[in-house]
Structure formats: structure tokens, C-alpha cells
Chains A and B, each alone.
Chain A
Amino acid sequence: MTGRARASAAPTPGDAVLASAEIVPSPVGAATPVLSEGDLARVLDRVAHQVIEHIAKIGFDAVLLGIPTRGVPLAKRLAERIAVFSGVDIPVGSLDVTLYRDDLRLRGVRPLGETVEPAGGIAGKTVILVDDVLFSGRTARAALDALNELGRPRAVQLAVLVDRGHRELPIRADYVGKNLPTSPGQSVRVSLAEIDGVDGVLVTEEGEA
């Protein structure tokens, strides 16, 4: 079963998409863990199975592209889990989207991440973009533009660890690890051992939005 959140015209603060909502309101600045290390591993495994279910139908002709920063280790882990469960090695790469962001002029200039094409390229393949959090959808849109410059895939799908709602563009994920309804004033942080030393997902109260 693929998780998805349907984009609505203008999500208002306070919209709560019930499903596996587990938000516990916290004082401002306090971080609430919503996924433990073990949870995260289980969620990733589930996504791996979902991916396998789909790509098995197309002869496993797919590649994973992680979006820096945390999408990259996630993509690697996903590929590893897919290999364990299916025996097939899916090529992995990374796709930096900084140059394609639509909000470059709103903040100081940002450093670039790495773009590494997966072995065998992307032309004619099904590309599965991998990111940690899906929020407004703008990163995913930028990723589609960045992908355009690399070549013409056969199809593009999106896999995210967490979908926190509040889409601003007509974007949806094909694979969602966890639906996490939030209010805009909250901040969702994924931490991964490869980058942050420990696995987990935290929600922080940022104060008035």
C-alpha cells in the first residue's frame, strides 16, 4: 500500500490528517521523538518492500537518486535493503537540487551538494528520488528540473521517509515511510547515523508560525 497525501487547495494551520497521527503537543523548543532508531529501520524496510513490489513489474529497471543531504544515505540504505530482500542491486546516485530551487534569492547564497549519476545513467530508467522529509513539495519540483538536465528517464517516482503535509505544489510521494501530520509552526528533523550519529525523527515546537 502506498502512502500518499492528497494536496488540497490551501491547507490551513490546524488541518490534521488523521491516520497514524501521534502528535503530542510540547512546549516551545522542546523536541519530541516520533520515531526511534528501531522504528526507523522498520519503516525503511516497509518502504523497501513497497518499492520491490512496483519495480518487480518493470524488470527491476530502476535507479535510486538521493537528494542531499540526508536523502543520500537514505537512498543507500534503501538500496541495501532492496538487495537483501530481493537479491537485486539497484544502482544508486545523488542529485543536488540547490541550483534549481525557486527560493535562491530569498536567502544568502547556498553551497552546492554532489550530483553523482548512478551506474548506467538514468535515460529510459525509472528514477526513484529519495528524500527525508516531504513538506511544501518545492524540493521535489526542483529535483524534477535538475533531473531534466541529466537526461530523460522513463518515469519518475518519489520516496520519502516522512510526509508532514502542507503541500504548496501539486506534488505527491509514491512511497511514504510515515505520515506525520504537523502544524506549520513545528519543525521535523530526521537524524541519520551517517550524518548525525544516531537514527531518529524529532518534532520541535518552533513557536508561533
Chain B
Amino acid sequence: MTELDRPGRHLLSAADLSREQALAILETARQMHAIQTREVKKLPPLRGRTIVNLFFEDSTRTRSSFEIAGKWLSADVINVSAKGSSVSKGESLRDTVLTVVAMGIDAIVVRHPASGAVQRIAGWVDCHVINAGDGTHEHPTQALLDAYVLRARLGDLTDRHVVVVGDIAHSRVARSNVLLLTTLGARVTLVGPPTLMPAGVETWTCSTSWDLDLVLSGKAFGDVDAVMMLRVQRERMGGGSGGGVHDIGGQFVPTEREYAIGYGLSPDRLDLLAEDVPVLHPGPMNRGLEISSLAADDARSVVLEQVQAGVAVRMAVLYRMLAGADEPASGLEVVSA
């Protein structure tokens, strides 16, 4: 039996994956998905491997998804919550991470509130590193599970038009999706208010618009095949918190009401979509803000499929990374005292 195209040592960015590699992961995920419906949800290939979920930022959803994925593959999974440590206690990020992996860990799944943190960490450790979200930069497994659901609903994504709506500037989901969907041949349109569009977005391989109605009508960039609504943070709207630890640059949109009117997936906008257009949301949803309850509960909403896909996709990523022979690790071997 042939070997898969050897994956990179880490998964840090959706841009790390070629089209073939991405499709290989999604195909493996499909088989992993089938296994989930069995009574005994346990597969042996990662037996004896130790995976640490090293989360510097809260996340029940993603963390438990990775935890289940690892455990169903018989790996030993440990959760380390490093939130609030490091910077506040004067310990460097490097020291915090090296302390964890010194125990002889095969892979770490890292989420960190600062962009680029996971990339730095990958430069310090010998084990495999999976990016579970770094600041506003990337979230590659989210893009993979979104692509999985889109392919399940739409088939081949070549030339398909996917619209992503919301706070693009602060969204790692948006960045990873633009990269991966483009790799898979799809066309992406980003929609949001000017204050929530990233600097330099005109250089990205996608279209942009401030007018959601125009885009959904198909008159701006052609018919829409799928819609992805991004979660917006209430703190970026007016009338919320001002100042304090969570002050993240103040007010980007005057009120929640104004945001919902301009960019929310209202019942009227839902009607603009064809019957077979899936509506995605990475969760958790702010019902009534970026997505109306009607849209959230509509038949076209695939939010639960995304969650299920998340486990299958993460199983596939872990399998690809850890099941086969290891590349020789570079650098010094850690010798226990």
C-alpha cells in the first residue's frame, strides 16, 4: 500500500497544505466520520502517543473536539490550560512551552491569543505542533472542517462562490478559509463594514464588498453557492465596554442594531439564498446579531454538521501527523534528569 504524501511536521497555517494534501485529509476525514457512528468509537493507530492540548485562551468547543479526536484514535490526551500564565507571571512563552513538552510529548495542539505565537512555538520544540487558533491570524482545522462540510453539500469546490460575512479584520477563521478555499479552487467574497476589513485586503486572492444584499443577490460577483457568517464580538460595537483589560481598540460599529441591519443574516436575506445554499457559522452564534434565529434553525444551516465534521477532520489531521514513522527530529534530544 502506498504512503501518503508526507505531511509537514506541523500544521500552522491553511497555506501549509497543497491541494492534494488538503484533499487527502478530507478523504481520510470521510472515513473517520463513518467510524463515528459505530458503537465502539475507538481506533488503535495512535495508541501510545501523547498529545497535549496547550490552550492559552479559553475554548471548550475546539479543545473538546481535539480531545475526542485524539482519544478516539487511542492517543493519551492531556489538557493544559495556560490561560493567564506566561506574560502576566513574567515567565517567557518559551519557558512555559518547553516545560510542558519536556515530559516527552508527541504533539501539542496550541491555541494562543497572540497572532504568530504558534509559529514561534514551533521553532522552539521538537514535537509536532498543530495550530488551534493564533490570535487573529489562522485556524487551519476550522477551515478544513468548513471545507469538509461544503464538499459534502456541494461536491467539488472548483469555481464555487463562497461568501464570508463579518468581522474579517479580527477573524482567523476568515483568513484560513480564504487560503484553503482558494487552494481548493473556490472563489471567495468577503463582506463587512469598512471598519472591520483588514488592512491590505485588496491584495488578498478574493473579492470584497460592503454591501451584503448586493452580493447575496448574485449581482455583484455571481451566484452564491455558500454563506459563512462569522461571529462578531459585542465589545466591538458601541454601547458596550469602554476601556479596561478587554478594550480592543474601541468601537468599530455604532450599535449592535446597526450591525445586524447591515450585515446580519436576516430572514429577508435568507430568502435571497437558493434552497441548496448551505449556511455555515463557526460558533458560538450571537442569535439576532450576525445571524437571525430563523436562519440559525433553517434547513440550510449546517452548524451541527460542522461540529461533527470537526472531530472527523481533527482525527484525520492527527492520524496523518502521528500514525506513520516520524521524521528524525532536528536538534538536541531531551534527556531526563
B-binding residues in A (CB < 8 A): 69, 96, 98-100, 104-112, 114-115, 145, 149-150
Contacts and interface: CB of A to CB of B under 8 A. Distances in A.
Contacts of A107: 3, 324-325
A109 B324 contact: yes
B132 to A, nearest CB: 21
Interface stretch (B37-45, B75-83, B173-181, B231-239): B37-45
A110 B44 contact: no
A108 B32 CA distance: 19
B165 to A, nearest CB: 35
B31 A112 contact: yes
Contacts of B45: 98-100, 104
Contacts of A69: 1
B320 interface: yes
Interface of B: 1-4, 6-7, 24, 27-28, 31-32, 34-35, 38, 40, 42-45, 319-321, 323-326
A106 B3 CA distance: 11
Main DSSP-derived SS at the B contact region: loop
Contact of A100 (B28, B38, B44): B44
Nearest to A98: B1
B38 A149 contact: yes
B3 A108 contact: yes
A104 B6 CA distance: 14
Contacts of A99: 43-45
Contact of B319 (A106, A109, A115): A109
A108 B42 contact: no
Nearest to A102: B44
A112 B325 CA distance: 16
Given A110-B4, A114-B31, A149-B38, 9 more contacts: A99-B44, A99-B45, A108-B4, A109-B323, A110-B1, A111-B4, A111-B24, A112-B27, A112-B32
Contact of B4 (A106, A109, A114, A149): A109
23 contacts: A98-B1, A99-B45, A100-B44, A104-B324, A105-B326, A106-B325, A107-B324, A108-B3, A108-B4, A109-B4, A109-B324, A110-B1, A110-B2, A110-B4, A110-B324, A111-B24, A111-B27, A111-B28, A112-B28, A115-B31, A115-B34, A149-B38, A149-B40
A23 to B, nearest CB: 26
A150 B40 CA distance: 8
